[in-house]
Amino acid sequence: MSFELILPFLRPLEPLLLDDSISEIMGNPDASWWYERDGIMRQEETISFDAGKLRTGLEVIANQLGKKLDEDNPVLHAQLPDGSRLAAVIPPVVRPAPALTIRKFSSRHYTVEDLITRGTLTRPLAAFLAEQIAAGKTLLISGGTGTGKTTLLRILANAIPEAQRIVVIEDTAELHIQKPNILSVECQTDTFKSSVSFDDLLKSALRWRPDRIILGEVRGIEARTLLDSFNTGHAGSLATIHANSAEKALHRFANLVMRNHAQTTFIDTEAEIADAVDFIVHVERQPGRRAIREVLGLKGFDREAKRFLIDPVFDANLPMLQAS
C-alpha cells in the first residue's frame, strides 16, 4: 500500500502507516493512539501528535481529495488513492482535538483457502455457499463494523459464473472483484461535484443489463430499490448489511425499506424480503480472527405469526449443525 499523499501531513503516524501487519489506526481527542493487528486492539504510547498540526494536516488532505473539512464541515469521509479509508472529525463536534480513523486497504487478495486456514469458515460451508451463489441464490452478508463482510463478499463472488454480467455499486471502491464482464461504480458524495447516491446508481444499474447486482452496503433509501431489483429478475445478487445477527439483518433490511416508503406495511415488506432473499450469512469479530457465526436459509414468511420461516444451515456454536 502507498501513503505518499498523506504521509507528509501525518509524519508521527509513519511507523503505523508503513506496518503492513496493522489493519486500522485510530486517534482519539484525548491524544491517545490505537491500532489493530490480527483483530486485536493495542495502544501505541510512543506517538505524540500536536493537535493543531493534526488538524491542519487533515484539512490539507481533505482539500487534495476534493473534499471540505472546516468548522462548517467538521466530518470527513474519504478514500485514499490506494483504497484505504480515512475518517476524521474536528472541533466543535469533538473536543479538545481532532479524531482520526484510517482503515488500511490490503493489496493482498485473499482466497477462500486463506479464510479456511484463518478459521473464518469451514471447507464444507465454503463449498455450500459457492454452490448456492453459482446456482443464482440471493445472499445478504451481515455483521458489525470491521468484521470482514467486504472480504467475505469479494471471495464468495468468485463463485458467480464467468459468463454472467455483474454490476458492483459501492460507497468507495473496495471489492475489486475479478470477473470478465463487470461494471463497478461508486458514489459521489461529500465532494465539490454534484451528488450521485447509492440509490441513483442502483436505479441506473437496472438499465445496464446486469445478471447480478452486488451492493457494497445496504444502509438507506436504496434498500427499496434493491428489494425491487431482487423481485424483478435480478435474483442471485449479493449485498452486505450492518446487524448483530442474521435474523436481525432481515428486520434491519425491512426497516430500511420502510424508512422512506411508508405506503406499504411492515408485514408486506418482510414477506417481500422472504420471497427475495435465500440466505443470510452473519460474520463477527473474534479475538485474533473474523469468523462466520451463523448461516440461515429463508423459507418464507408466516403472516399470522408475523415471523420469518428460517432454516438454520450453520451455527458455529453447534458443531452438529453443518452445511450439507
What tens digit of pLDDT does each residue of 233-282 get? 788 999 999 999 999 999 999 999 998 776 789 999 999 999 999 999 99
Strand partners, 1: none
Pairs from 85-93 (Cβ < 8 Å, separation ≥ 24): 85/172, 85/174, 86/6, 86/61, 88/58, 88/62, 90/55, 90/58
Which pLDDT value is given to residue 263? 76
Q: What is the DSSP letter of 196?
A: B
Across the chain, which has 324 residues, the per-10-residue mean pLDDT values are: 79 92 94 90 94 95 90 90 88 94 80 92 95 96 92 94 92 82 82 73 87 88 85 86 96 90 85 95 89 96 95 84 54
What is the architecture, at CATH level 2, of domain 112-315? Answer: 3-Layer(aba) Sandwich (3.40)
Question: What CATH class is the domain 7-103?
Answer: alpha beta
Nearest to 91 by CA among 68, 80, 107, 75: 75
Domain ranges for the chain, please list them. Answer: 7-103, 112-315
What pLDDT was estimated at residue 22?
A: 92
